Each structure stands twice: as structure tokens, then as C-alpha cells.
Structure 1
Amino acid sequence: MMKIIITAHARKRLQDLRQDQINESDIRVAARSIPGYIPTATRFRGFMASTGRPFDMVVKDVLAGRLVITIIGK
């Protein structure tokens, strides 16, 4: 299973009102659902938190695993 790394920036963004009701487990599930290899930072759209809150995220694959750079709540 691929290791998901959530940056400090993304964790900080989860505290903002716009990302309210999105938690780390939602991010991990969403990041694992993206197939293939992501060599450059790419925005992926249309994820749904367990609370029903839609969000996008910017992800890149690095040697250590899949790096979640930021979260964008809708």
C-alpha cells in the first residue's frame, strides 16, 4: 500500500473555515483512490469528505510516497 504524506501546509489548511468538515482520513482515502504515478504537482478535483463536503487536492508522488501538498475546500 502506498504511503500518504500530508504536508504541514495541508494540515494547517484543514483548520480553515473553507476546509471545515474535511479530516485526514478523508484525504488519505482520496489520495489512495488516484491511480498511476504523478510526477508533477497536479490538482485533482471532485473528492467528497465523509461529511459530504466536496474538496480538491494537489498531489505529487515522491520517493517516500504520495505527497498531499494542499487541500481546497468547496
Structure 2
Amino acid sequence: MRVIITDHAKKRLKDYRQDRITVADIIHAVNQIPGHVPTATRFRGFISKSGRVFDVVAKDIPNGRLVITIIGK
């Protein structure tokens, strides 16, 4: 599945709470979400390769899965 990361989500990766979370971590996490996500939904408890826990808000669009934002813990 194609993963599209919004500019807002990419910008949040530079914030302190999302430190050490990479785009590859996000793509891996989003690809683990099963089924179809018709509305923006928060998925909790993903772990980056660096060990940082984060949540993802995503939804499915015709072009793929849209990552709206990232929330670091």
C-alpha cells in the first residue's frame, strides 16, 4: 500500500517529542494497520527502531494511506 505523509507530519518529526522517529518507522507502522480506515483514526503504541513509542493518525484515501500526524510519547 502506498503511504503518503503530510507536510504537517514531516514537520512534527523535527519536534522534541518525535525525536528519533524516522519516515521509515512511520511507513513500517502504517503498513501494520490492517483493513480499511475510512475516517481519520488514531492508532497507538508503535515503537521506532530507536525505541521511541509513538501514535499515528491515518486514514485511507483513493491514492493510498494518508498519515495526518505523528504523536511521540
- Bin of the TM-score, shorter chain as denominator length: over 0.9
Measure the CA separation in 2 of the matches of 1:9 and 1:64.
18
Q: Deviations over 1:22-73 (max 9, x none)?
A: 0000000000000000000000000000000000010000000000000000
Which aligned runs of 4 or more in structure 1 are off by greater than 2 angstroms? none
- The two structures, once aligned, show a CA RMSD in angstroms of 0.2
AA in 2 matched with 1:63? P
Aligned residues: 73
Provide TM-score, normalisation by structure 1.
0.98
Measure the CA separation in 2 of the matches of 1:46 and 1:53.
10
| Matched residue, 1:28 | 27
Measure the CA separation in 2 of the matches of 1:27 and 1:14.
10
AA in 1 matched with 2:55? D
Question: Taking every aligned residue pair, what percent have the same amino acid on both sides?
Answer: 63
AA in 1 matched with 2:4? I
Measure the CA separation in 1 of the matches of 2:33 and 2:56.
11
- Where in structure 2 are the equivalents of 1:1-74 lying within 5 Å? 2-74=1-73
Q: Secondary structure at the match of 2:10?
A: helix
Provide TM-score, normalisation by structure 2.
0.99
